[in-house]
Structure 1
Amino acid sequence: MATRAEPIRQLRLRTPTDLEAEAVRNVAGALNALLADTFALYLKTKNFHWHVSGPHFRDYHLMLDEQATQIFAMTDELAERVRKIGAPTLRSIGQIAGMQRVLDNNADYVDPDDMLAELRDDNKDFVQRMREARDLCDDSRDAATASLLETFIDQSERRVWFLYETSRRGDGTGH
């Protein structure tokens, strides 16, 4: 049963914005889903960073740590953008688990080449979802969120590129 205080508590979290209420709902929904994906992608990247093994251990370990750091930095900006437009953001691991579209990998062992391929594909999918959210921002007249997403798209495309190039097979001489 809702109490009289419930609407007051919700109002306390509303930030004034010139965006229409529907635009706030739509953009916040897209950003919260991206935020859940960001946390899931971060943890998967750290999982592979912690568990990579083999002759390229050092290179892969360092690259995945760098990528995880970049991904984690996105979380605060996404969550704060949701708050700036006047909506609530994620509050728990349970919410993340319910919204994430990046699949977990709980395998005891994953071949390093499979790790790179899986992260490459996850980042490609993540870019596509950010592009869809970016288009929604145009429809909602939300230039600031669109700009933020453009930066994140560029960063994510770089991760895809690095993961692709790192996983390519050479000619036996390393070239």
Structure 2
Amino acid sequence: MTRSGDNSTKALVEGLNRTLADHFALYLKTKSFHWHLKGPRFRDLHLLFDEQASAILAVADPMAERVRKLDAGTLTSIGAVANATQIADEDRTDLDAEAMVTALRDDNATLVEGLKALKDAAEEAGDNATSALVDEWQDQAERRVWFLREILR
């Protein structure tokens, strides 16, 4: 691993914090959809959204700890998440199930792209530990995209 002052390590820390913000934002959106879901597919989607939200949140602590292991600071507030995330807010509570599934599929696909960039940053910094974790996180996000995509077929 490179020294914490190196540009590649700084880029990695920025990528980790951006991806962490995306995970928090997507967690909240997924939970909101879980809470506001209505309609004939309620039970199955309610349970799926809850399962996916839990999986998304489970990544947050290891991701933040990677930042700290790199001797850097991580997110501190809702404002920090809002400033760093690529995941758009959704404040409407009247979306139908298909719109919710579509939004979550697209947001998880955005997460996959961010994780691919994070993988590149980890490799550029020579951080094999982060690179290995990103593989696992990307696989989890790709699985969510797959499930959501199949629901829409």
Equivalent-residue separation in structure 2 for 1:118 and 1:97 (angstroms): 18
Kept in 1, the 8 Å contact 2:108–2:142? The answer is yes
Kindly indicate whether residue 31 of structure 2 is the aligned counterpart of residue 78 of structure 1. Answer: no
Shift of 1:26: 1.1
TM-score (norm 1): 0.84
- State TM-score, norm by structure 2: 0.96
| Count, aligned residues | 151
Q: Helix, strand or coil for the counterpart of 2:40? A: coil
**Identical counterparts, % of pairs:** 46
Q: Higher Cα Rg: structure 1 or 2?
A: 1
Structure with the bigger RCO (C-alpha within 8 Å, sep 6+) is 2
Runs of at least 5 residues in structure 2 that lack an aligned partner in the other structure: none
Alignment of 1:1-175 (within 5 A): 18-20=1-3, 21-22=5-6, 23-168=8-153
Over aligned residues, Cα RMSD in angstroms? Answer: 0.9
Contact 1:40-1:100 at 8 Å conserved across structures: yes
SS at match of 1:149: helix
CA distance in 2, matches of 1:69, 1:120: 16
2:17–2:64 Cα contact (<8 Å) kept: yes
SS for the counterpart of 1:96 is: helix
Cα distance in structure 1, aligned partners of 2:78 and 2:108: 21
Could you tell me whether the CA contact under 8 Å between 1:19 and 1:85 is conserved in 2? no
Large movers: runs of 4+ above 4 Å = none
1:93 counterpart letter in structure 2: I
